[in-house]
Structure 1
Amino acid sequence: MDVAPWQNEVHEAGAEAPRVLIVQPNRAYLGVLARRISEGGYRVATADTAASAMAELHRLSVSLILSELRMPGTSGVELVSMVREDPVHRELPVFLVTGRSDTDGAVQAYRSGADTVIAKPFHFEVLIARIGREIERSKQLAKLRNDVAALDARVVGRAIELGEMRDRWLASEAELRRLQEKIRSTEA
Protein backbone atom coordinates (compact mmCIF):
# COMPACT_ATOMS: atom_id res chain seq x y z
CA MET A 1 0.00 0.00 0.00
CA ASP A 2 1.27 3.51 -0.79
CA VAL A 3 2.34 5.83 1.99
CA ALA A 4 -0.11 8.61 2.87
CA PRO A 5 1.24 12.10 1.97
CA TRP A 6 1.52 13.18 5.59
CA GLN A 7 3.83 10.19 6.23
CA ASN A 8 6.41 11.63 3.82
CA GLU A 9 6.74 14.83 5.87
CA VAL A 10 9.06 15.37 8.79
CA HIS A 11 6.90 16.03 11.86
CA GLU A 12 7.69 17.79 15.07
CA ALA A 13 8.24 15.50 18.03
CA GLY A 14 4.97 14.02 19.19
CA ALA A 15 3.03 14.86 15.99
CA GLU A 16 0.28 12.36 15.31
CA ALA A 17 -1.33 11.12 12.13
CA PRO A 18 -4.31 13.16 10.91
CA ARG A 19 -7.69 11.96 12.13
CA VAL A 20 -10.61 11.22 9.81
CA LEU A 21 -14.12 11.33 11.27
CA ILE A 22 -16.30 8.75 9.50
CA VAL A 23 -20.07 9.30 9.73
CA GLN A 24 -21.98 6.22 8.61
CA PRO A 25 -25.28 4.84 9.99
CA ASN A 26 -24.62 1.29 8.70
CA ARG A 27 -22.45 -0.33 11.40
CA ALA A 28 -21.03 -3.02 9.10
CA TYR A 29 -20.02 -0.51 6.42
CA LEU A 30 -18.71 1.86 9.12
CA GLY A 31 -16.41 -0.92 10.31
CA VAL A 32 -15.10 -1.54 6.78
CA LEU A 33 -14.47 2.17 6.17
CA ALA A 34 -12.77 2.62 9.55
CA ARG A 35 -10.50 -0.38 8.99
CA ARG A 36 -9.49 0.60 5.46
CA ILE A 37 -8.84 4.26 6.30
CA SER A 38 -6.88 3.21 9.37
CA GLU A 39 -4.82 0.89 7.17
CA GLY A 40 -4.17 3.94 4.98
CA GLY A 41 -2.28 5.50 7.88
CA TYR A 42 -4.93 7.71 9.44
CA ARG A 43 -6.39 7.77 12.92
CA VAL A 44 -10.14 7.22 12.80
CA ALA A 45 -13.09 8.48 14.82
CA THR A 46 -16.59 7.25 14.06
CA ALA A 47 -20.15 8.45 14.41
CA ASP A 48 -23.45 7.00 13.25
CA THR A 49 -25.43 10.26 13.09
CA ALA A 50 -24.78 13.91 12.26
CA ALA A 51 -25.46 14.87 15.88
CA SER A 52 -22.87 12.44 17.22
CA ALA A 53 -20.45 13.65 14.52
CA MET A 54 -20.80 17.24 15.75
CA ALA A 55 -20.19 16.04 19.31
CA GLU A 56 -17.02 14.24 18.16
CA LEU A 57 -15.84 17.40 16.40
CA HIS A 58 -15.98 19.29 19.67
CA ARG A 59 -14.30 16.45 21.54
CA LEU A 60 -11.46 15.54 19.17
CA SER A 61 -9.09 17.17 16.73
CA VAL A 62 -10.27 16.10 13.27
CA SER A 63 -8.54 16.73 9.92
CA LEU A 64 -11.36 15.61 7.58
CA ILE A 65 -14.95 14.33 7.71
CA LEU A 66 -16.07 11.43 5.51
CA SER A 67 -19.85 11.10 5.74
CA GLU A 68 -22.64 9.23 4.05
CA LEU A 69 -24.81 11.67 2.12
CA ARG A 70 -28.14 9.90 2.68
CA MET A 71 -28.72 9.15 6.38
CA PRO A 72 -31.88 8.77 8.43
CA GLY A 73 -32.70 11.93 10.34
CA THR A 74 -30.08 14.55 9.60
CA SER A 75 -28.51 14.03 6.18
CA GLY A 76 -24.90 14.49 5.14
CA VAL A 77 -25.90 17.71 3.38
CA GLU A 78 -27.29 19.06 6.65
CA LEU A 79 -24.12 17.93 8.44
CA VAL A 80 -22.04 19.94 5.95
CA SER A 81 -24.22 22.98 6.63
CA MET A 82 -23.75 22.56 10.40
CA VAL A 83 -19.98 22.30 9.96
CA ARG A 84 -19.85 25.36 7.69
CA GLU A 85 -21.88 27.38 10.24
CA ASP A 86 -19.54 26.39 13.11
CA PRO A 87 -16.86 29.10 13.42
CA VAL A 88 -14.31 26.63 14.79
CA HIS A 89 -14.75 23.96 12.12
CA ARG A 90 -16.03 25.84 9.07
CA GLU A 91 -12.82 25.26 7.07
CA LEU A 92 -12.71 21.52 7.82
CA PRO A 93 -12.75 19.41 4.63
CA VAL A 94 -15.91 17.32 4.21
CA PHE A 95 -16.31 14.42 1.77
CA LEU A 96 -19.76 12.94 1.18
CA VAL A 97 -20.28 9.40 -0.12
CA THR A 98 -23.32 8.65 -2.25
CA GLY A 99 -24.74 6.17 -4.70
CA ARG A 100 -23.57 6.37 -8.29
CA SER A 101 -26.92 7.64 -9.61
CA ASP A 102 -27.58 10.26 -6.91
CA THR A 103 -26.82 13.37 -8.98
CA ASP A 104 -29.42 15.48 -7.14
CA GLY A 105 -27.79 14.58 -3.83
CA ALA A 106 -24.35 15.43 -5.22
CA VAL A 107 -25.57 18.84 -6.41
CA GLN A 108 -27.12 19.54 -2.99
CA ALA A 109 -23.88 18.44 -1.32
CA TYR A 110 -21.76 20.85 -3.34
CA ARG A 111 -24.25 23.68 -2.79
CA SER A 112 -24.09 23.10 0.97
CA GLY A 113 -20.30 23.39 0.92
CA ALA A 114 -19.03 19.81 0.61
CA ASP A 115 -15.48 19.65 -0.70
CA THR A 116 -16.14 16.55 -2.77
CA VAL A 117 -18.74 13.89 -3.42
CA ILE A 118 -17.55 10.32 -3.86
CA ALA A 119 -19.77 7.91 -5.79
CA LYS A 120 -20.01 4.26 -4.76
CA PRO A 121 -18.46 1.94 -5.60
CA PHE A 122 -14.98 3.44 -5.25
CA HIS A 123 -11.45 2.16 -4.85
CA PHE A 124 -10.13 2.58 -1.33
CA GLU A 125 -6.65 3.42 -2.64
CA VAL A 126 -8.10 6.35 -4.56
CA LEU A 127 -10.13 7.45 -1.54
CA ILE A 128 -7.03 7.32 0.69
CA ALA A 129 -5.09 9.37 -1.88
CA ARG A 130 -7.89 11.95 -2.09
CA ILE A 131 -8.07 12.18 1.69
CA GLY A 132 -4.32 12.75 1.89
CA ARG A 133 -4.40 15.39 -0.83
CA GLU A 134 -7.31 17.25 0.78
CA ILE A 135 -5.73 17.20 4.24
CA GLU A 136 -2.48 18.56 2.78
CA ARG A 137 -4.39 21.27 0.86
CA SER A 138 -6.26 22.18 4.04
CA LYS A 139 -2.98 22.47 5.98
CA GLN A 140 -1.52 24.72 3.29
CA LEU A 141 -4.62 26.95 3.30
CA ALA A 142 -4.47 27.23 7.10
CA LYS A 143 -0.79 28.17 6.88
CA LEU A 144 -1.59 30.75 4.21
CA ARG A 145 -4.39 32.23 6.36
CA ASN A 146 -2.01 32.46 9.30
CA ASP A 147 0.66 34.10 7.13
CA VAL A 148 -1.87 36.62 5.80
CA ALA A 149 -3.02 37.42 9.36
CA ALA A 150 0.61 37.94 10.43
CA LEU A 151 1.22 40.21 7.43
CA ASP A 152 -1.97 42.14 8.17
CA ALA A 153 -0.79 42.66 11.74
CA ARG A 154 2.59 43.90 10.47
CA VAL A 155 0.89 46.29 8.04
CA VAL A 156 -1.30 47.67 10.83
CA GLY A 157 1.76 48.05 13.06
CA ARG A 158 3.65 49.89 10.31
CA ALA A 159 0.67 52.12 9.61
CA ILE A 160 0.53 53.07 13.29
CA GLU A 161 4.28 53.75 13.30
CA LEU A 162 3.95 55.89 10.17
CA GLY A 163 1.07 57.80 11.73
CA GLU A 164 3.11 58.44 14.86
CA MET A 165 6.12 59.53 12.76
CA ARG A 166 3.88 61.85 10.75
CA ASP A 167 2.50 63.36 13.97
CA ARG A 168 6.06 63.91 15.28
CA TRP A 169 7.11 65.42 11.96
CA LEU A 170 4.10 67.77 11.94
CA ALA A 171 4.84 68.73 15.55
CA SER A 172 8.49 69.44 14.70
CA GLU A 173 7.42 71.47 11.65
CA ALA A 174 5.05 73.49 13.85
CA GLU A 175 7.83 73.97 16.41
CA LEU A 176 10.23 75.06 13.63
CA ARG A 177 7.69 77.63 12.35
CA ARG A 178 7.10 78.85 15.91
CA LEU A 179 10.85 79.27 16.46
CA GLN A 180 11.24 80.99 13.08
CA GLU A 181 8.45 83.39 14.01
CA LYS A 182 10.06 84.03 17.38
CA ILE A 183 13.43 84.73 15.71
CA ARG A 184 11.77 87.10 13.22
CA SER A 185 9.93 88.88 16.01
CA THR A 186 13.14 89.35 18.05
CA GLU A 187 15.06 90.60 14.97
CA ALA A 188 12.44 93.16 14.15
Structure 2
Amino acid sequence: MAHVLVADDDTDIRELVAFKLTQDGHEVTAVEDGLQALQALEEKAVDIALLDIRMPGMSGLDVCRQLRAAPRTAALPILLITARSQEGDVEAGFAAGADDYITKPFSPRELSSRVEAVLARAGR
Protein backbone atom coordinates (compact mmCIF):
# COMPACT_ATOMS: atom_id res chain seq x y z
CA MET A 1 0.00 0.00 0.00
CA ALA A 2 1.00 3.65 0.30
CA HIS A 3 3.26 5.54 2.68
CA VAL A 4 1.18 8.35 4.20
CA LEU A 5 2.38 11.44 6.05
CA VAL A 6 -0.13 12.75 8.61
CA ALA A 7 0.49 16.18 10.16
CA ASP A 8 -1.98 17.36 12.80
CA ASP A 9 -1.36 19.10 16.13
CA ASP A 10 -4.45 17.46 17.68
CA THR A 11 -3.17 14.20 19.17
CA ASP A 12 -6.58 12.50 19.10
CA ILE A 13 -7.18 13.31 15.42
CA ARG A 14 -3.61 12.39 14.46
CA GLU A 15 -3.87 9.03 16.24
CA LEU A 16 -7.33 8.31 14.78
CA VAL A 17 -6.16 9.05 11.23
CA ALA A 18 -2.97 7.03 11.69
CA PHE A 19 -4.89 4.11 13.17
CA LYS A 20 -7.47 4.04 10.35
CA LEU A 21 -4.87 4.30 7.60
CA THR A 22 -2.68 1.63 9.23
CA GLN A 23 -5.77 -0.56 9.50
CA ASP A 24 -6.25 -0.03 5.74
CA GLY A 25 -2.73 -1.38 5.17
CA HIS A 26 -0.83 1.88 4.72
CA GLU A 27 2.48 2.80 6.32
CA VAL A 28 1.99 6.00 8.32
CA THR A 29 4.39 8.67 9.53
CA ALA A 30 2.58 10.95 11.98
CA VAL A 31 3.90 14.34 13.09
CA GLU A 32 2.43 17.23 15.06
CA ASP A 33 3.27 20.34 13.03
CA GLY A 34 4.22 21.71 9.64
CA LEU A 35 7.96 21.95 10.28
CA GLN A 36 8.06 18.31 11.38
CA ALA A 37 6.12 17.41 8.23
CA LEU A 38 8.75 19.02 6.02
CA GLN A 39 11.53 17.36 8.00
CA ALA A 40 9.84 13.94 7.67
CA LEU A 41 9.58 14.46 3.91
CA GLU A 42 13.30 15.20 3.74
CA GLU A 43 14.04 11.94 5.52
CA LYS A 44 11.75 9.65 3.55
CA ALA A 45 9.53 9.96 0.47
CA VAL A 46 5.80 9.45 0.93
CA ASP A 47 2.94 8.76 -1.47
CA ILE A 48 0.45 11.25 0.00
CA ALA A 49 0.40 13.96 2.67
CA LEU A 50 -2.56 14.70 4.94
CA LEU A 51 -2.16 18.13 6.49
CA ASP A 52 -4.17 19.96 9.12
CA ILE A 53 -4.49 23.62 8.17
CA ARG A 54 -4.19 25.11 11.65
CA MET A 55 -0.93 23.97 13.22
CA PRO A 56 1.56 25.90 15.34
CA GLY A 57 4.66 27.24 13.65
CA MET A 58 3.77 26.48 10.05
CA SER A 59 0.24 25.99 8.80
CA GLY A 60 -0.84 23.19 6.51
CA LEU A 61 -1.46 25.78 3.78
CA ASP A 62 2.15 26.98 4.07
CA VAL A 63 3.41 23.39 3.94
CA CYS A 64 1.22 22.72 0.91
CA ARG A 65 2.58 25.79 -0.92
CA GLN A 66 6.15 24.83 -0.09
CA LEU A 67 5.62 21.28 -1.33
CA ARG A 68 4.12 22.54 -4.59
CA ALA A 69 7.07 24.91 -5.10
CA ALA A 70 9.72 22.19 -4.72
CA PRO A 71 10.38 20.06 -7.83
CA ARG A 72 10.75 16.85 -5.79
CA THR A 73 7.32 17.20 -4.15
CA ALA A 74 5.41 19.29 -6.71
CA ALA A 75 3.27 16.33 -7.76
CA LEU A 76 2.81 14.84 -4.28
CA PRO A 77 -0.90 14.26 -3.58
CA ILE A 78 -2.04 16.47 -0.69
CA LEU A 79 -5.26 16.22 1.29
CA LEU A 80 -6.06 19.01 3.74
CA ILE A 81 -7.92 18.10 6.93
CA THR A 82 -9.45 20.98 8.84
CA ALA A 83 -12.29 22.32 10.93
CA ARG A 84 -12.41 25.34 8.61
CA SER A 85 -15.41 24.76 6.36
CA GLN A 86 -16.29 28.19 4.98
CA GLU A 87 -16.27 28.52 1.20
CA GLY A 88 -13.31 30.91 1.32
CA ASP A 89 -11.32 28.42 3.41
CA VAL A 90 -11.95 25.65 0.90
CA GLU A 91 -10.97 27.95 -1.97
CA ALA A 92 -7.75 28.90 -0.15
CA GLY A 93 -6.92 25.22 0.31
CA PHE A 94 -7.31 24.43 -3.36
CA ALA A 95 -5.49 27.63 -4.34
CA ALA A 96 -2.54 26.49 -2.19
CA GLY A 97 -2.40 23.30 -4.27
CA ALA A 98 -4.42 20.73 -2.32
CA ASP A 99 -5.85 17.77 -4.22
CA ASP A 100 -8.72 17.33 -1.77
CA TYR A 101 -10.17 18.99 1.32
CA ILE A 102 -11.96 17.23 4.16
CA THR A 103 -13.63 18.98 7.06
CA LYS A 104 -13.68 17.90 10.69
CA PRO A 105 -15.54 16.10 12.03
CA PHE A 106 -15.25 13.35 9.43
CA SER A 107 -15.95 9.66 9.43
CA PRO A 108 -12.96 7.33 9.26
CA ARG A 109 -14.58 5.60 6.26
CA GLU A 110 -14.89 8.89 4.39
CA LEU A 111 -11.24 9.64 5.13
CA SER A 112 -10.21 6.22 3.86
CA SER A 113 -12.28 6.64 0.68
CA ARG A 114 -10.85 10.07 -0.04
CA VAL A 115 -7.27 8.90 0.49
CA GLU A 116 -7.83 5.99 -1.87
CA ALA A 117 -9.45 8.25 -4.48
CA VAL A 118 -6.61 10.79 -4.40
CA LEU A 119 -4.02 8.00 -4.62
CA ALA A 120 -5.86 6.41 -7.55
CA ARG A 121 -6.05 9.75 -9.43
CA ALA A 122 -2.33 10.20 -8.86
CA GLY A 123 -1.58 6.68 -10.10
CA ARG A 124 0.03 5.61 -6.83
Structure number with larger C-alpha Rg: 1
Return the match for 1:127 from 90, 108, 111: 111
Query: What is the identity percentage for the equivalent residue pairs of Structure 1 and Structure 2?
Result: 27
The reply to whether residue 22 of structure 1 matches residue 39 of structure 2 is no
Equivalent pairs counted in the alignment come to 124
Letter in 1 for 2:111: L
The structure that is helix-richer by fraction is 1
Distance 2:84 2:96 in 1: 19
Give the AA of the match of 1:74. Answer: M
Are 2:64 and 1:94 aligned? no
Structure 2 CA distance for aligned equivalents of residues 123 and 31 of structure 1 = 14
In the alignment, which residue of structure 2 is the partner of 1:72?
56
SS of residue paired to 2:123: helix
What secondary structure sits across from 1:44 in the alignment?
Answer: strand
CA-to-partner distance for each residue in 1:123-164, whole Å, 9 max, x for gaps?
211211221121122127xxxxxxxxxxxxxxxxxxxxxxxx
| Unaligned 5+ runs, structure 1 | 1-16, 141-188
Matched with 1:51 is 35
* TM-score normalised by structure 1 residue count: 0.62
The answer to whether the 8 A contact 1:47-1:53 is kept is yes
- Alpha-carbon deviation of 1:122? 1.5
- How many angstroms apart in 2 are the aligned matches of 1:58 and 1:89? 10
Structure 2: stretches of 5+ with no match in the other structure: none
Q: Distance in 2 between matches of 1:64 and 1:97?
A: 13
Q: How many Å separate the matches in 1 of 2:84 and 2:33?
A: 22
Match of 1:106 in 2: 90
TM-score, length-scaled by structure 2: 0.91
| Kept after mapping to 2: 8 A contact 1:37/1:128 | yes
